Amino acid sequence: MTKALPILTQLHEWMQQEYPKVLPHSPIGKAIGYALPLMESKRLCAPWRFTNRSQRRPQ
């Protein structure tokens, strides 16, 4: 993850800069609109926090 974090940070900055310039219903607008909130909530940058359902222990 140490190598990926600078790349994800640059991607996040680029998306923040470009999102106001694109049409919201265009494919890139939809992609950025979907990914930005995930990145800002750290879900996209911290995949280790989420486990695959098949890997979860039964309760």
CA distance 27 to 23: 9
**Which residues have CB under 8 Å from 19's CB, separation 6+?**
29, 32, 33, 36
Is the pLDDT at 51 greater than 50, yes or no?
Answer: no
CA distance 7 to 23: 25
Domains of the chain by residue range: 3-42
What confidence category does residue 5 fall into, taking pLDDT thresholds of 50, 70 and 90?
Answer: confident
Between the CA of residue 9 and those of 1, 13, 24, 53, what are the distances in Å? 12, 6, 22, 28
Model confidence pTM above 0.75? no
